[in-house]
Structure 1
Amino acid sequence: MHRSAMPNPLPEAMSAMSLRGHGGVDKLEYRHDVPVPSPGPGEVLVQVTATAKNNTDRKAREGLYPTEDKADVTSFAMGGEATFTFPRIQGADVAGRIAAVGEGVDASRIGERGLLDFNLYPDARRHINLTPDYYGHGADGGFAEYVAVPADQFHVVDNPELADAELAALGMCSYQTAYHMLTSADVKAGERVLVTGASGGVGTALIQLCRILGAVPYAVSTPAKAEALEALGAEAVIDRRDLPTFVERVLKATGGAPVDAVMDLVGGEMTTRFIDTMIQDMTCRETYPRLSIAGASGGNVSEILWTRIYLYQVRIAGVSHGTRAEAEQLIEWIRDGQLKPVLHGAFRLSALHEAERYFVNRGSGYLGKIVIVPDSQWEAHGAPFALGQEESDS
């Protein structure tokens, strides 16, 4: 490892939020004695400046990824073994600067600013990822001052118009999931796409990505967020409340045409309503109805009549993480300025408990991403975007 390439030696210990077990925010312990990781061969050590918070942080912490036993408190183990072990530093969407490099990595990369492709890929294949895992789950992530990651997954983004906090808000956890939802549904230009959970990180990413692909996104949210979502690219915003009239209101927004594809982040009792928006007047359709599922904020169990699925030939795609190729495409769009950050605000790393509570209890004005900034980086990268209790500190 080339620590000597830095003008100042790296510290031996760092501040980090260490998760000590499954449970509430009390399981998150802010420590100042965590060893600074050493980058191995092919890795870089990143000094973290901002890390976006994702709902998966909470779900993994609370053990809300059961497999067969719905009563289990666990996390997913797609590769066959549990990788979410304790203590663990969470945080997947990391922005920062390379502070040191491991063997085989050019030392000229030191100082580069970039964004992490958050995946722990099982192999080198570019177009498939069947056992998804990620930094902050199967390996330590960005709720710390430093993190070691593969050099080829830390992508340089030196756009001066993007602050580090904004770059973190463009992180792969949301944008790659959103893009993989669209590619899994084979969404094409001109198609009508219903985007559920539209005000969150994946939802706002879906709206932007639909427009890049030439598709027309219809957002499911609340009237309070309609103006912001339409400014982001939504063709119309459909109020998620009043279930009996939901399908009628979606069809009114589309001019009576059925939705071509649904991006479902909600689940629960809403899924059957979402399917209804696609199977109205099948003679008008040119493609099969498609449902991409990547979340269950409205409930982990949905009751669906299978006759409606096979008779209407609904294609269903379960979506977790995307691929290396999709991540690289997203980085190109970020560098080109085609994707815009939707940053709600920032919290200090030491205030992660407050950030978690804010995220769970977020109000009607919430839109986009919260980022977590190490206390040592706060004045430079967090204070301009201070949120909640931080507003009095900035």
Structure 2
Amino acid sequence: IQGADLVGHIMAVGPGVDAARVGQKVTCDPYFRDPGDETGLESNAFLGSERDGSFAQFTVVPAENTYQIPEDTGLSDEAIATLPCSGGTAMNMLLMAGVKAGDRVLVTGASGGVGSFLVQIAKHLGAVVVAVASASKHAALLELGADACVDRAAEDHATPALAALGEAQFTVVADVVGGDRFSECLSVLGRGGRYVTAGAIAGPIVELDLRTLYLKSLEFFGSSAYRRDTFPGLMQILAEGGLKPAVTSVRPLSEIHEAQAAFLEKSHVGSLILVPPKVEDAD
């Protein structure tokens, strides 16, 4: 059963889990790790892949992967359901790149699920954020916290991105696009800059001049499985009011094909939500 994002209530617990947890509203870290795997990089399994996921009324996950949702977030269940995959991926990328207050971060693919969280989380951490996205989505990204935006349709991204910083160079590029723009991403990084990626929607094969890497003393990070501190960090930002998940539409799970077609149109900002039927409504 697929589905990596969820929000729901604990209906039952297994041996060794506090029975008081029954009834808690929770979301879930979608990566599952063996207890002895300190980094979590060797043993990880993923919700909806190696384990049955959230395209159902019920699922079973390790208690340590569940996180109680604060009562005062002001967010809908549909909004919180965007956290596990998109929010977690963004948080993991920024932790790996060591983003902190004062950093200058360029976010590519900024209007997508991961990209919109990259903008918000980097801003919450105290960075200056420049977002690359279609011009029609700039207003939404500025509302989410971007300091400036660059039109993805422009032939040259580097010049307007650097101009937005007053010609200073970026300290971090958070890239989920890849493809032909990879070299341009590296060109805007200053010495000691960090490049982190978790996707390649424009193509996984890129051209790298190794002299750019070593002469600028750049650091590269590839992000997939979450660090053990990723989801706790994400939930802390949620509790601090630092997240406003962008939800474009909410559909029943039965309309998954329509949702996928809408996703491919790339006219949305953030996430498209699917809701399984209630138990009493299920066939």
Taking the aligned partners of 1:115 and 1:305, their CA distance within structure 2 comes to 42
CA RMSD of superposed structures (Å): 1.9
Q: Structure 1, unaligned stretches of length 5 or more?
A: 1-88, 283-287, 380-394
Taking the aligned partners of 1:116 and 1:372, their CA distance within structure 2 comes to 16
User: 1:334 corresponds to which residue?
Assistant: 238
**1:54-133 → structure 2 map (5 Å cutoff):** 89-123=1-35, 128-133=40-45
Task: Note the alpha carbon deviations across 1:93-148, whole angstroms, 9 max, x for none.
Answer: 11011112222222222211111111122335565534543101111100111100
Letter in 1 for 2:207: E
Contact 1:230 1:237 in 2 (8 A): yes
SS of equivalent residue, structure 2 residue 41: coil
Contact 1:176 1:321 in 2 (8 A): no
Out of 166, 173, 188, the position equivalent to 2:79 is 166
Point out the structure with max Rg over C-alpha.
1
Contact 1:348 1:378 in 2 (8 A): no
Contact 2:33 2:40 in 1 (8 A): no
Contact 1:196 1:263 in 2 (8 A): yes
User: 2:113 corresponds to which residue?
Assistant: 201
Cα distance, 1:159 vs structure 2:
2.0
Cα distance, 1:304 vs structure 2:
1.6
Out of 216, 222, 226, the position equivalent to 1:318 is 222
User: 1:258 corresponds to which residue?
Assistant: 169
Out of 143, 153, 171, the position equivalent to 1:241 is 153
Task: Note the alpha carbon deviations across 1:243-280, whole angstroms, 9 max, x for none.
Answer: 3x22111111111111111001001101111111114x
**1:378-389 → structure 2 map (5 Å cutoff):** none
Residues 256/122 of structure 1: CA separation in 2 closer, same or farther (3 Å cut):
same
Contact 2:108 2:132 in 1 (8 A): yes
Q: Structure 2, unaligned stretches of length 5 or more?
A: none
Residues 158/252 of structure 1: CA separation in 2 closer, same or farther (3 Å cut):
closer
Letter in 1 for 2:274: I
Contact 2:135 2:152 in 1 (8 A): no
User: 1:383 corresponds to which residue?
Assistant: none
User: 1:155 corresponds to which residue?
Assistant: 67
User: 1:67 corresponds to which residue?
Assistant: none
Aligned residues: 280
Out of 255, 274, 277, the position equivalent to 1:372 is 274
- 1:362 and 2:261 matched: no
Out of 346, 349, 356, the position equivalent to 2:253 is 349
Letter in 1 for 2:221: A
Contact 1:122 1:129 in 2 (8 A): no
Out of 179, 185, 189, the position equivalent to 1:274 is 185
Deviates more, 1:342-351 or 1:226-235: 342-351
Please give the TM-score of this superposition, normalised by the length of structure 2. 0.93
- 1:142 and 2:54 matched: yes
Identical aligned pairs, as a percentage? 36
SS of equivalent residue, structure 1 residue 301: coil
Taking the aligned partners of 1:102 and 1:118, their CA distance within structure 2 comes to 19
Letter in 1 for 2:24: E
Please give the TM-score of this superposition, normalised by the length of structure 1. 0.67
**1:285-296 → structure 2 map (5 Å cutoff):** 288-296=192-200
Taking the aligned partners of 2:27 and 2:36, their CA distance within structure 1 comes to 19
SS of equivalent residue, structure 2 residue 157: helix
